[in-house]
Amino acid sequence: MDLEATWQQHKKFIMRVGGGALAFGILSMVVGWVEAGADQLARRNAKENADVLAAASSLRGQEAAEKGKKIALEEKARPAIESAVAFTVDPGYVLSEEDKKHSNALPKRRASAAEEVGKKADRTTAQIPRKDANLPDLGFDDDAKAEGPHEAEAFARCDVTRYVVGSALDVGVMRVISVRQPNATYEPLEGGSGFLRRIPVAIVFEGTTQQLASLLAVFEKDGSGRFVEVGVCRVTRMPDSRPEEGRLQIELELGALTIEKEAPADAQSTSTEQKGRPRRRRD
């Protein structure tokens, strides 16, 4: 399997979840595995080689054997890709069967996320937008009724938001200006194997270049299970400041990526966001 074939098969996924050096690194890793050959794989890891050969031998004929090798290699590549760029939702924010029975389950999770962020802000005396009951305003649409995949997405969004805003406070940000909740997108994966869900959270804060660098380092930590990709990063001078003060307004739009079995009927993808048309999920 050559680079061109690998690229043609995985380019949609790689371009979607990657970005700059990360996409190149993931592609290089996958191509390295494919081009290493059975002999090199055997020297590096005898067990992996045995697994590949076993999967190939389960199919008959030369063409079937090549297909078997391809399937086995993809099974090894996908977990590595997912571990590098996927976001693992905290179990406390994963929709359960019990949660589906209670209409107040989602409001409770939203309140819990806001309360956690509020306590962090109080400890550091950081400024953050507030709303009812003095809880931080994290941009949730409290009037929306979520069901099915939308409900699971809403639960996960609580976790993503508390992680993003909480991390900003952890690196020393003393003023959060606003938090927004753009629409999630769902990209169909090859072979009908599910959807790549991206939950975006946008935050605007006053900070320094050092705080921005520290924050990005937290979000882009490979293999942490809490990776979030940077969609937008804008740095401007605070409107009410003088140039010599060095006060910066920083806007980040970050996306948490997960693999989901299903998508909402009205789910958007990046292409439908651009065209303005809803996209239905695959059955």
CB 184 within 8 A of CB 249: no
Average pLDDT over residues 18-30: 45
Q: Which two tokens stand for residue 264?
A: 């909402």
Q: How far is CA 105 from CA 70, 97, 117, 225, 272, in A?
A: 43, 11, 19, 25, 31
102: CB partners within 8 A, 6+ apart: none
Please give the domain boundaries of the chain with CATH numbers for all domains: 3-85 (no CATH), 91-275 (3.30.70.60)
Strand partners, 253: 202, 232
Q: Which two tokens stand for residue 203?
A: 């935050």
Q: What is the DSSP secondary structure assignment for residue 146, as one 8-state letter?
A: -
Q: Which two tokens stand for residue 25?
A: 């690194």
Q: How far is CA 212 from CA 19, 34, 84, 256, in A?
A: 18, 37, 21, 18
CB 149 within 8 A of CB 262: yes
Q: How much is the pLDDT for 243?
A: 81
**Positive or negative, the Cα torsion across 16, 221, 124, 233?**
negative
To the nearest 5 percent, what fractions of the chain are helix, strand and coil?
55, 20, 30
- The better pLDDT of the pair 41, 210 is held by 210
143 phi/psi in degrees, rounded to 5: -85, -10
Q: How much is the pLDDT for 19?
A: 47
CA distance 268 to 283: 16
Residue 109 pLDDT more than 90? yes
Please name the residue that has the structure tokens 């507030």: 130
Q: How much is the pLDDT for 120?
A: 96
- Of the pLDDT bands very low, low, confident and very high (cuts 50, 70, 90), residue 131 is confident
Q: How much is the pLDDT for 132?
A: 72
Instruction: Render pLDDT for 161-197 as a digit per residue (tens, 0 to 9).
Output: 999 999 999 999 999 999 999 999 999 988 788 899 9
Q: How much is the pLDDT for 62?
A: 58
Q: What is the DSSP secondary structure assignment for residue 127, as one 8-state letter?
A: B
CA distance 92 to 99: 11
Q: How much is the pLDDT for 31?
A: 44
Q: How much is the pLDDT for 112?
A: 96
Query: b vs e for 19-34, b when ≥16 Cβ sit within 10 Å of the residue's Cβ?
Result: beebbeebbeebbebb
Average pLDDT over residues 100-127: 95
Residue 101 pLDDT more than 60? yes
Give the HSE-up count for residue 211: Cα atoms under 13 Å, Cβ half-sphere. Answer: 23
Least confident of 95-104, 188-197, 222-231: 222-231
